[in-house]
Structure 1
Amino acid sequence: MAQITIYLDDELIQQVKQSAAEAKVSQSQWIADLIRQHCHNDWPQTVREMAGTWQVFPQQDELRAEQGEDTPREPL
């Protein structure tokens, strides 16, 4: 497991200590959990909740219905 050194001012380190104690985890674990929450590769929950809320996109045939017939290609 790698280690990272970060520098925090006195006020911030006290907030970290208090928050970690309230969560009943080590300061290192509390910071790692916070980083995990902000460094993810999936869509945010708000985006996932939007699934199915928009109308279904039209099919290819529906989109091309008003375009008419294609002109046949000339033979090579």
Structure 2
Amino acid sequence: MGQVTIYIDDDTEKKMLSMVEKSGKSKSKWISEVIREKTATNWPEAVVQLAGAWKDLPTAEEIRKDMGQDSSRESV
């Protein structure tokens, strides 16, 4: 397991300590989770669950119907 030393300003430290206390986790655990969240390559589950939530949202086809035709793509 790696170790990292960071230097943060007083205001940032106060905010961090407040969040750590509310979470009930250690500073290391809390910081590790923040780093994991910020470096994730997948959408958070809460966002995934929103798929289809807006029934009146127009489809991509409906949005594009009056935009004309795309230019032809170059062949590779």
CA apart distance, 1:41 = 2.6
Per the normalisation by structure 1, the TM-score is 0.55
Name the % identity: 29
Higher-Rg structure is 1
Structure 2: how far apart are the matches of 1:19 and 1:47?
25
Match of 2:40 in 1: 40
Q: Give ranges in structure 2 of 5+ residues lacking alignment.
A: 53-58, 62-76
Aligned amino acid, residue 32 of structure 1: S
Q: Give ranges in structure 1 of 5+ residues lacking alignment.
A: 56-76
Aligned amino acid, residue 34 of structure 2: L
With a CA cutoff of 8 Å and minimum separation of 6, indicate the structure with the bigger relative contact order: 1
Match of 1:63 in 2: none
Per the normalisation by structure 2, the TM-score is 0.55
1:15-64 deviation per Cα after TM superposition (whole angstroms, max 9, x unaligned): 1111000000011111111111111133x2557837xx767xxxxxxxxx
Aligned amino acid, residue 6 of structure 2: I
Match of 2:7 in 1: 7
